[in-house]
Structure 1
Amino acid sequence: MSRQGQDVAALVAQQLPGWARSLGFSQIGVADVDLSAAEKGLLDWLAAGFHGEMGYMQVHGLKRARPAELVPGTVRVITARMDYLPRDTAEDWTERETKRLAVSGEAVISIYARGRDYHKVLRQRLQALADRIAEVIGPFGHRVFTDSAPVLEAELATRSGLGWRGKHTLALSREGGSMFFLGEIYVDLALPLTAPASAHCGHCEACLTACPTGAIVAPYRLDARRCISYLTIEHHGAIPVEFRRLMGNRIYGCDDCQLACPWNKYARRATLADFDSRDPLDAATLLGLWAWDESEFLRRTEGSPIRRIGHARWRRNLAVAMGNAIAAGDAASAEMRAALAAERASSNELVREHIDWALGAATR
């Protein structure tokens, strides 16, 4: 690299943390593009079929571990962390969230999904960060990613010092737990690398023990086909019967492994209003959400990540949770039965099958 190039890279590296903080990011790092050490683990995971219906992971293959193949010219990856706990989150939030899981009539939605779609928030702000760099050094090659392409996000976060990969496979930070989003900017600038993070899970296996479906089949190894987040969001068909009772009242995503993680006592509140919980997603009931017809669902989920699953899968998930509430003898069981039965005839085959399962819950 020329002396001038070194000076430009040093200037950008010096200014990046401040620029990132002004845009709502909590931490910034820079990773190299040589991820060859992660290739075998990725191939083994795919070969085991742990990606389920997420066929794009198989299609992209090793491009996930080869940034310079995905975006030719890339020599560094700028990594960014953005905390997402709502700004008004109580100090005892893990206890509160855990207690809600035991109230069968409540509808539990993963915390990250209660506010605005993070894809939109991070993508816009990562692009703003890239624009800020361009203002200082001129045009440069780059591409922004936010869980939107074949990127090994947790691997890059570890190598750039944002955190380490926890046994639940999520990135973990000593200063921020795991309640944060990751984003990346692939760049053709040879920026100075930031130091990698060391692991601090020790002998703890709280996340493995907490997983309702045993999806964390071994430390650092997740079978997505068993994961409630996958089943309620990524999976398009019928929920496998063997997992329905285990889903409880979780209707979109699952936070159990994060609620159990002791590092999340350090989880930080978001600085952006985008991640504040929308009414009524942090205190909704199953009956209340079942009452949403498709137009209401679309109105309520505008700009939300929940919209991506569509009304039919939303109702599929709700039907399973209502069946579990009925089986548990919830006080509103009679109303749930009536509400499910009233919608059976007008529902599509997918939803109808789950309604029938739910209505038979008391006999199982």
Structure 2
Amino acid sequence: MHIHPLITDSATLANLCARLSNSPFVTVDTEFMRESTYWPDLCLIQIANSEEAAAIDPKARDIDLKPLLDLMTENDEVLKVFHAGGQDLEIVHNLTGKTPYPLFDTQVAAMAMGLGEQIGYSNLVETLIGEKLDKGARFTDWARRPLDKRQIDYAIGDVTYLAELFPKMLERLRKTGRGGWLDNEMERLGDPASYANLPELAWTRIRMPSRKPEVLGRLKAIAAWREREARSKNLPRGRIAKDETIADMASHPPREQSDLARVRGLSPNWAQNDIGARLMNAIAEAQPLSEAEMPPREDRKPGLGKEGALIADLLKLLLKVRSRDADVAPRLIARADDLELLAAGVRDLPLLTGWRNDIFGKDALALVEGRLAFSVRNGKMVMSALEAE
């Protein structure tokens, strides 16, 4: 494989992208910093196919990333391959409002190969290729210039090994007939809505035990205010206000701006400055949460109850057994929420269709409906059909 020198000019990048646009797939990775910012600071982009690999410096003066971003989001003939690509996809979405398409994530694919739900990249490389990765540059300051050769070699290694990994994984998935199992997971990963971070939905990421509409309405308003402040200042959300501080103000709202001086986690200066005034305006304008927006209760399932919760536990046990038998990660078959919905009587579920139904769903439904029983024989757990009464 030909490894290019670090690309720092638009013409070289455009030529690279023109060649890569004829490839069946490209492997992609990014290096970024976000410890002190709201938006990830993109520091390096690595890309490869089976013949060549390069690192691109997005901080290079006047470099035009459009050919690369078009390759990512506009060219649907080239498959984009990532490993645990959520944050890489977020960066592309921040730059374009779109996500790479079509998409393949090797960490997700590993679930269908019995390699675990969140296998790390180095472990995947060692398992399938037999190479141990140099982790020495993992915690480097990618924003600092110039980058040295070891840093660049480390970064490019991520996509060159990925270009070797992907065909091996694809071949195994084809042989086992499991490629189609991944469609829903890849579609969910590539959904642009997952990366929008809408201020109006920021409150849903904060744990709040109260179910009072007025409290949750204030939580929604304050969380949206924090999201906008963090964006405008390009600071992490926690640098504006911690989650627990927001939850506390939602439950016990300050009446006057001067009361902010006594709120734990806020600067006393907020009692008289502009940011404190904007916070108080957000609290004053908060409306009780509508019935349609109210979060489901802790069991989150209609009519689940205590008996239903026990049935859900049995379903989790069955899922563990069936996923072990099929050598596939349980999360690829069904999520805990789906099991609780099934226990509560819901039947319109993905786990009751297609391959999921064959591996797990039909037995899960039989268990819920009293047509399947667990037993222990010779020290092993077995399941047997029950005769109808």
TM over 0.5: no
Larger radius of gyration: 2
TM-score (norm 1): 0.26
TM-score (norm 2): 0.25
